[in-house]
Structures are given as C-alpha cells and as structure tokens.
Amino acid sequence: MALYDALSEIAPSPVVELNRAVAVGMAFGPAAGLELVEGLSSEPMLEEYHLLSSVRGDLLSKLGRTGEARMEFERAASLTRNERERELLLERAAACGT
C-alpha cells in the first residue's frame, strides 16, 4: 500500500489508482477496494479500459454480487483486444452463473 501511495505522489494517474484499489482490496477486503474502483468509474481515461471492468467484476464476485460481476466480466471481455484474455474473462463471467 505504501508503495502505491508513493507512486501516486510521483506519477499520479488513474491506472496507478486502479492498481492501488486492487492492493486495498487485498489488504482490507473487497468492499474497500470496490469503493475506490467506484470512484474511478467516471475517469475518462478508464472509460474503455477493460481492466477497470475486470477489477470491478473480481471485487463484486468476492462480495457475492455475482449478477453484477458477470456483467462486468462480459464488459471487460468486449473491451479487450487480446483473444486469450477475452476467453478468460468470459469464463469468469460464466462462472458467475445467470
């Protein structure tokens, strides 16, 4: 966490903040990470960034909010250009059920 705080100071960016949200989620639980991710959802730079939806999907899944998680994984899959990553995201979406 301290390293992401320091990185935010010297090279602030929405991507750094997204990575920080992942670290917060790991350290303090998915609800804490999701709170930070929600604050990033209005960032224009992240609007079409598949990893924002992927991270959000992962945190929602960990919170048991599988319907929302599935939609986020599907959105992330639609945004990535990497075929293998798309397959993995669609597998995560399918694992969330219908």
Closest CA to 63 of 29, 87, 36: 29
> For 80-84, what is the mean pLDDT?
97
Q: Is the pLDDT of residue 1 over 80?
A: no
**CA gap 94, 14 in Å, rounded:** 29
- pLDDT bin (cut points 50, 70, 90) of residue 98 is low
Residues 21 and 40 sit within 8 Å (Cβ to Cβ): yes
Residues 97 and 66 sit within 8 Å (Cβ to Cβ): yes
Residues 52 and 60 sit within 8 Å (Cβ to Cβ): no
- CA neighbours within 13 Å on the CB side: how many for 36? 20
pLDDT in tens, 12-71: 899 999 999 999 999 999 999 999 999 999 999 999 999 999 999 999 999 999 999 999
- pLDDT bin (cut points 50, 70, 90) of residue 89 is very high
Q: Which fold has domain 2-95?
A: 1.25.40
Q: Is the pLDDT of residue 7 over 80?
A: yes
Note the pLDDT of residue 79.
98
